[in-house]
């Protein structure tokens, strides 16, 4: 097997992982029966449009529900909307919330609040929902919320820590949507993009109890030295801003299920790799840590396997972090790939792919941002021929610039799903 064939194997594994998590093939089996009143689809995140489209197909075509009994609103990342028939989908900013997201979220709150006891509120949640559903608690303004979000994203804080702070500054996150939806029946169906599939972390848990506290949020602010405006300090000092906890009656009768998760994506990739004759080493769906440090560990595993003549694929998921020190472009998957190439040092027979299953990795928030990158045994030699120094690009956090020049960016475009990051290191030393 030559280098191009190994690269094709790596890309095929990524595509299999993404396809396994798309709502078109997973949502229908989880949808509840239509109620006597209206079915209200409230969706947020990168899969908001595709989840609404799948739900509409089920209720309108399979169950024959009249369109007048279907309503709601979806809010998706810009570029991630798709054609729907009854329920509109608004595109909004991600990862930085914007005015479109704020205005749409206020409409979502109105829809939930107006739901009656004969209605069903169906919350369709996916990664990116934290940014798309943005409703800062007064007196916090959108501009202040945007500044806080930028500081958190640059700090190296984990997504769980970021969401903890978000919940305690919001009118919708951390279980608050559930309180508004009562007395309607509330059913939440989610695509998980978080470690350990924690319901309270997916889209910042708008419909489930929040185990984090105001004290936790303050500790995160102190840990990362986040510069908060006075309005945010006032909210975090207000006991009334504590989120509803497990056992709160606002959650009575509501349900929550995950329809797709990172393990599903890894399982699909593993099956594809085994069918191709590879030994599969599953490193787990919840890998966390600095992207460049994790890459070094994975490179060591791959080099050891290559030296032993093993034909193997190392799979992993989870969300890595990047502590930004430079002014370059990139995201955790591209930084991982660059650090992986540097650590592999051209090891023969090793190809790696790292990509966000939503189709974009870091970047400026455009739907055209790359999802990640592919590396192989020629990456460093081709870089040297172009006078590119991998270490310098790493120091500048400019992994996009590096792979752009090599033509090795992974650019599938919006996938309309999101089960976090996917990484595969393919070892085929006999190739």
**Residue corresponding to tokens 């799979």:** 315
Rounded-to-integer distance, Cα 87 and Cα 392, Å = 48
**Length of the chain, please?**
431
Q: Name the token pair of 377.
A: 């045994």
Q: Are residues 85 and 226 in the same domain?
A: yes
Percentage of the residues of the chain whose pLDDT score is greater than 90: 92
Q: Name the token pair of 183.
A: 């007395």
pLDDT digits (tens, 9 = 90+) for 328-350: 999 999 999 999 999 999 999 99
Q: Are residues 99 and 231 in the same domain?
A: yes
pLDDT digits (tens, 9 = 90+) for 24-61: 999 999 999 999 999 999 999 999 999 999 999 999 99
Average confidence (pLDDT) over 18-24 = 97
pLDDT digits (tens, 9 = 90+) for 105-160: 999 999 999 999 999 999 999 999 999 999 999 999 999 999 999 999 888 888 88
Q: Are residues 214 and 276 in the same domain?
A: no
3 state SS of 313: strand
Name the residue range of residue 328's domain. Answer: 3-18+263-427
Smallest CA-to-CA distance from 206 within 21, 362, 75 is with 75
Record the pTM. Answer: 0.92
pLDDT digits (tens, 9 = 90+) for 278-320: 999 999 999 999 999 999 999 999 999 999 999 999 999 998 9
pLDDT band at 323 (very low <50, low <70, confident <90, very high): confident
Q: Are residues 243 and 383 in the same domain?
A: no
**pLDDT value for 430:** 75
Q: Are residues 205 and 275 in the same domain?
A: no
Smallest CA-to-CA distance from 351 within 9, 83, 68 is with 9
What is the CATH classification number for the domain harbouring 52? Answer: 3.40.50.10180
Rounded-to-integer distance, Cα 45 and Cα 252, Å = 25
What is the CATH classification number for the domain harbouring 14? Answer: 3.40.1480.10
Q: Are residues 225 and 371 in the same domain?
A: no
Q: What is the DSSP letter of 180?
A: H
Strands 312-318 and 279-282: parallel
**pLDDT value for 58:** 98
Q: Are residues 33 and 169 in the same domain?
A: yes
**pLDDT value for 431:** 57
Q: Are residues 335 and 222 in the same domain?
A: no
Q: Are residues 292 and 315 in the same domain?
A: yes
Residues 6+ apart with CB under 8 A from 300: 343
Rounded-to-integer distance, Cα 74 and Cα 104, Å = 8
Q: Are residues 246 and 320 in the same domain?
A: no
**Residue corresponding to tokens 């350990």:** 196
Q: Where are the beta strands (DSSP E) in 148-277?
A: 185-191, 255-260
Q: Which of 260, 285, 305 is the last residue of a domain?
A: 260
Q: Which of 260, 291, 311 is the last residue of a domain?
A: 260
Smallest CA-to-CA distance from 420 within 207, 211, 255, 196 is with 196
Total domains present in the chain: 2
Q: Which residues of 369-403 are buried (b: 16+ CB within 10 A; e: fewer)?
A: bbbbbbbbbebbeebeeeebebeebbebbbbbbbb
Q: Are residues 242 and 319 in the same domain?
A: no
Q: Which of 210, 230, 260 is the last residue of a domain?
A: 260
Q: Are residues 151 and 227 in the same domain?
A: yes
Radius of gyration in angstroms for the set of CA atoms belonging to the chain, rounded to a whole number: 22
């Amino acid at each position: 097997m030559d280098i191009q064939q190994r690269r094709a194997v790596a890309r095929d594994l990524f595509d299999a992982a993404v396809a396994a998590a798309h709502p078109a093939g997973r949502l229908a089996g989880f949808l509840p029966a239509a109620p006597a009143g209206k079915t209200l689809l409230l969706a947020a995140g990168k899969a908001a449009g595709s989840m609404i489209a799948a739900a509409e197909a089920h209720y309108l075509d399979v169950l024959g529900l009249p369109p007048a009994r279907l309503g709601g609103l979806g809010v998706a990342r810009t570029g991630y909307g798709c054609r729907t028939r009854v329920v509109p989908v608004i595109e909004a900013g991600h990862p930085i919330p914007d005015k479109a997201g704020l205005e749409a979220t206020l409409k979502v709150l109105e829809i939930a609040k107006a739901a009656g006891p004969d209605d069903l509120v169906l919350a369709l949640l996916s990664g990116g929902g934290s940014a798309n559903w943005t409703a800062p608690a007064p007196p916090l303004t959108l501009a202040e919320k945007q500044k806080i979000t930028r500081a958190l994203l640059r700090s190296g804080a984990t997504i769980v820590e970021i969401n903890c702070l978000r919940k305690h500054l919001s009118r919708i996150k951390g279980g608050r949507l559930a309180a508004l939806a009562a007395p309607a029946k509330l059913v939440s169906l989610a695509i998980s993009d978080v470690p350990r599939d924690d319901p309270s972390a997916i889209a910042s848990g708008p419909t489930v109890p929040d185990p984090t506290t105001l004290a936790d949020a303050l500790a995160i602010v102190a840990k990362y030295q986040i510069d908060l405006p006075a309005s945010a300090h006032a909210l975090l000092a207000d006991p009334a801003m504590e989120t509803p906890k497990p056992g709160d009656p606002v959650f009575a009768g509501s349900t929550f299920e995950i329809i797709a998760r990172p393990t599903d994506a890894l399982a699909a990739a593993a099956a594809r790799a085994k069918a191709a004759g590879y030994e599969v080493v599953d490193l787990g769906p919840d890998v966390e840590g600095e992207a460049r440090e994790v890459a070094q560990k994975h490179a060591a595993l791959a080099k050891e396997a290559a030296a032993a003549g093993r034909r193997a694929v190392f799979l992993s998921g989870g969300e890595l972090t990047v502590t930004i020190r430079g002014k370059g472009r990139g995201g955790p998957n591209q930084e991982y790939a660059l650090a992986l190439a540097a650590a592999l040092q051209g090891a023969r027979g090793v190809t790696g792919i790292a990509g966000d299953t939503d189709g974009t990795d870091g970047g400026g928030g455009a739907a055209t941002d790359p999802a990640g990158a592919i590396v192989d045994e020629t990456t460093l030699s081709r870089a040297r021929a172009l006078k590119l120094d991998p270490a310098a690009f790493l120091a500048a956090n400019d992994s996009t610039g590096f792979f752009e020049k090599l033509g090795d960016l992974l650019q599938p475009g919006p996938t309309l799903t999101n089960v976090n990051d996917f990484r595969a290191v393919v070892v085929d030393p006999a190739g």
